[in-house]
Chains A and B, each alone.
Chain A
């Protein structure tokens, strides 16, 4: 009791300072937070838009994957109300169909442009940066116009905004002005002189509309991307989003052709099958303009650079893959194990032999009864096992009605102990790397949706 009162006595000054700082921040934010409303307009008629621009807008919306956040799985397209879990609470996406009352039907192109470039709603309130306006600010006026044409010609749906469930005090929107002050670097993309037109197109799409780094770059405590670790690996919906820069975990260096095919099909025979949130991305990218996707691939490849350290990994992983059976692999760089670790590896080997080898050791091309050789699979080289755990548990399944590679989930078949053992075995034999630290925490994290 004594210690407690002493503690409480120390608290007030800290609270006071924090309170004052908070107040100061609020005042500053208020000054920055005010934006005028833009007058409502009558929803533009369908035939007021040029059909070519509309078609182009559809392809651009595919690159932005607008539907990814704005179309609920059981709902109408672009009607919003998709729950997006963030470290700051749950944010619900809004209705971007041209319904005048609940959607963006009353938005002029100017209001739409301001939302994309500055994160401000038509009525002047600030949008949360879960909406990636820190990327869309790079968009050209031309592309914004085509996206506007596309969205304003969707089926209008009456669907009121779902209230967000954010941690206190983040429900107070003007606070976003502070975030914008720190992290929003407004303005369209500026082409880099000396780079090819394709490279610049790729950079523009990757950094702007594609907002690739929203998932593939790590974020700081305030949820902003850490620019110094650009495309250095981040997370999305509980999955590890692999580094796309020089830190790429892929043992086999990517080529532009492979990246391009992967982005459009979700299949790369030397690297991976798209899983988790990336499935949605490749599904929409299959509707994008092929040259645009290729430009993204070319730009990502240039960010990745020529693989230096990857070469040795590449040769070694190919050699392990060529052995066919993982059981034949003798890990080269790993310390010998004994006792509990040894037991875990034996268990992992038996799980692999029974549950995985049937497809993954089959030794044919990736098809309906053969799967990626795991010494090639990027996920076993990731810095943490989150994605691999989710693939093992949930499998890889295309959305209903979509084609794609399919792997059954093993959530019902394998216990946590068996998955832990399998991870230890795969890490050692497929990747020939040191064990992942703290698999237990990753297992726990990956079990929450």
Chain B
């Protein structure tokens, strides 16, 4: 009766998952792969705490069934860096102290990451519009927006510094 395993790529690694194809990706990430960054918030795709990237796009993993992932690579907050060596966006969130309770932050970071990967120099209005889908109940939105701004400026700076040498 066991269903055939479904192969997905998460943070660059292949995994064979034995689960009902309708299982939300979020459950697979947390329960099968112990990637606990993405959070279960509302379970209805309304709060954004479960946001991960699939094929480069910010996606709500609580309403995305395992069956639709296919060959598209999944990236979670764990794929951006570690506590010791945070990625540039994670570093910006630390520097702006953008987390209060922290429950929404992994989702916020992944939605912001998707923006910065497709648009390295977003305007403030573009950041606001893009981040609007993710909710924070503590009210640290202003710090979150500043963190995304800081990361975008930092990455742009890096690119500018790198420019002449490469």
Bound CA span A419–B112, Å: 25
Contact pattern, A 339-367, Cβ under 8 Å of B = 1, otherwise 0: 00000000000110111011100000000
B125 touches A74 (CB 8 A): yes
Chain B residues numbered 34-74 whose CB sits less than 8 Å from any CB in chain A? 44-46, 53-55, 57-60, 63-68, 70, 72
B57 touches A351 (CB 8 A): no
Bound CA span A413–B64, Å: 6
> A354's contact among B22, B45, B133, by CB below 8 Å, is which?
B22
- The stretch of A32-40, A160-168, A209-217, A404-412 in contact with B is A404-412
Q: Tell me the nearest residue of chain A to B21, going by C-beta.
A: A350
> Residues of B contacting A411 with CB < 8 Å?
57
B44 touches A355 (CB 8 A): no
B70 touches A408 (CB 8 A): no
> A413's contact among B22, B46, B54, by CB below 8 Å, is which?
B54
A355 touches B21 (CB 8 A): no
> Residues of B contacting A412 with CB < 8 Å?
53-55, 57-60, 114
> A355's contact among B58, B65, B114, by CB below 8 Å, is which?
B65
Bound CA span A74–B68, Å: 36
> Residues of B contacting A302 with CB < 8 Å?
none
Contact pattern, B 89-130, Cβ under 8 Å of A = 1, otherwise 0: 000000000000000000000000010000000000100000
Whether A413 touches B68, Cβ cut-off 8 Å, given contacts A350-B21, A368-B44, is: yes
> Residues of B contacting A395 with CB < 8 Å?
45
> A353's contact among B22, B53, B55, by CB below 8 Å, is which?
B22
> Residues of B contacting A415 with CB < 8 Å?
68, 70, 72
B44 touches A350 (CB 8 A): no
B151 to chain A, nearest CB (A): 20
> Residues of B contacting A194 with CB < 8 Å?
none
* Residues of B within 8 A of A (CB-CB), count: 26
> Residues of A contacting B24 with CB < 8 Å?
354
Whether A351 touches B65, Cβ cut-off 8 Å, given contacts A400-B132, A412-B54, A413-B60, is: yes
B68 touches A351 (CB 8 A): yes
Query: Does any Cβ of B come within 8 Å of A51's Cβ?
Result: no
Bound CA span A413–B114, Å: 13
B21 to chain A, nearest CB (A): 6
> Residues of A contacting B57 with CB < 8 Å?
411-412
Q: Tell me the nearest residue of chain B to A421, going by C-beta.
A: B68
Bound CA span A412–B59, Å: 5
> Residues of A contacting B114 with CB < 8 Å?
412
Q: Tell me the nearest residue of chain B to A359, going by C-beta.
A: B44
B44 touches A413 (CB 8 A): no
Contact pattern, A 355-386, Cβ under 8 Å of B = 1, otherwise 0: 10111000000001100000000000000000
Bound CA span A259–B19, Å: 44
B59 touches A413 (CB 8 A): yes
Bound CA span A412–B63, Å: 11
Chain A residues numbered 396-438 whose CB sits less than 8 Å from any CB in chain B? 397, 400, 406-408, 410-415, 418
B17 to chain A, nearest CB (A): 13
> Residues of A contacting B132 with CB < 8 Å?
400
B65 touches A353 (CB 8 A): yes
A358 touches B63 (CB 8 A): yes
Whether A351 touches B67, Cβ cut-off 8 Å, given contacts A368-B44, A406-B46, A408-B44, is: yes
> Residues of B contacting A369 with CB < 8 Å?
44
> B66's contact among A354, A358, A414, by CB below 8 Å, is which?
A354
Which of B60, B66, B132 lies at the interface centre, i.e. has the most chain A CB atoms within 10 A of its CB?
B60
A408 touches B67 (CB 8 A): no
Bound CA span A369–B42, Å: 9
Which of B57, B58, B64 lies at the interface centre, i.e. has the most chain A CB atoms within 10 A of its CB?
B64
List 9 extra interface pairs beyond A350-B65, A410-B63, A415-B70, CB under 8 A. A354-B64, A354-B66, A355-B63, A357-B22, A395-B45, A412-B114, A413-B64, A414-B68, A415-B68
